[in-house]
Structure 1
Amino acid sequence: MKRVLFVCLGNICRSPMAEAVMRQKVAEHDLTDKIEVASAGTAGWHQGNPPHEGTIRVLKENSIPHDGLTSNQLTRQDLEHYDYIVALDRSVSEDINKLARATENKPTYILLLELIDAGTLDVPDPYYTNNFQESYDLINRGCEALIKKIEDDHGGD
Structure 2
Amino acid sequence: MIHILFVCLGNICRSPMAEAVMRDLIEKKGLSDKIKVDSAATSSWHIGKSPHKGTLSKLREFNISTTGIKARQLHKDDFEKFDYIIGMDSSNVRNIREILGQSDHPKIFRFLDLTEHKKDVPDPYYTGDFQETYELVSDGCQALLEIILQDQAT
Partner of 1:133: 131
Equivalent residue number for residue 148 of structure 2: 150
Corresponding residue SS for 1:76: coil
Q: Determine whether 1:113 maps to 2:112.
A: yes
Q: Pairwise mapping of residues 18-97 of structure 1 onto structure 2 (< 5 A)?
A: 18-97=18-97
Q: What is the TM-score when the length of structure 1 is the normalising length?
A: 0.93
* CA-CA distance at 1:102 after TM superposition: 6.0
Which amino acid in structure 1 is aligned with residue 127 of structure 2? Answer: T
Separation (CA, whole Å) in 2 of partners of 1:116 and 1:30: 23
> Do the aligned residues in 1 keep the contact of 2:75 with 2:100 (CA within 8 Å)?
no
Q: Is the 8 A contact 1:5 1:86 kept in 2?
A: yes
What percent identity do the matched residue pairs reach? 46
Equivalent pairs counted in the alignment come to 153
SS at match of 2:40: strand
Q: Deviation string for 1:64-87 (max 9, x for gaps)?
A: 111111000000011111010011
- Shift in alpha-carbon separation, 1:107–1:2, aligned structure 2, 3 A: farther
Structure 2 spans left out of the alignment, 5+ residues: none
Q: How big is each residue's C-alpha offset from its partner over 1:63-121, in whole Å with a ceiling of 9 and x where there is no partner? A: 11111110000000111110100110000000011122269xx6711211011112x42
Structure 1 CA distance, aligned partners of 2:109 and 2:151?
13
Q: 2:101, 2:78 → 1: CA distance?
A: 13
Paired residues of 1:76 and 1:99 also in contact (CA < 8 A):
yes
**Gap regions ≥5 residues in structure 1:** none
Structure 1 distance, partners of 2:100, 2:107, is 11
Q: What do you get for the CA RMSD once the two structures are aligned?
A: 1.5
The TM-score with structure 2 as length reference comes to 0.94
Tell whether the 8 Å contact from 2:42 to 2:74 is kept in structure 1 after alignment: yes
Q: Deviations over 1:129-155 (max 9, x none)?
A: 000010000000100000011112222
How far does the alpha carbon of each residue in 1:29-58 deviate from its partner, in whole angstroms, 9 at most, with x for none?
A: 211111000000000100000000000000
Runs of 4+ in 1 over 4 A off after TM superposition: none
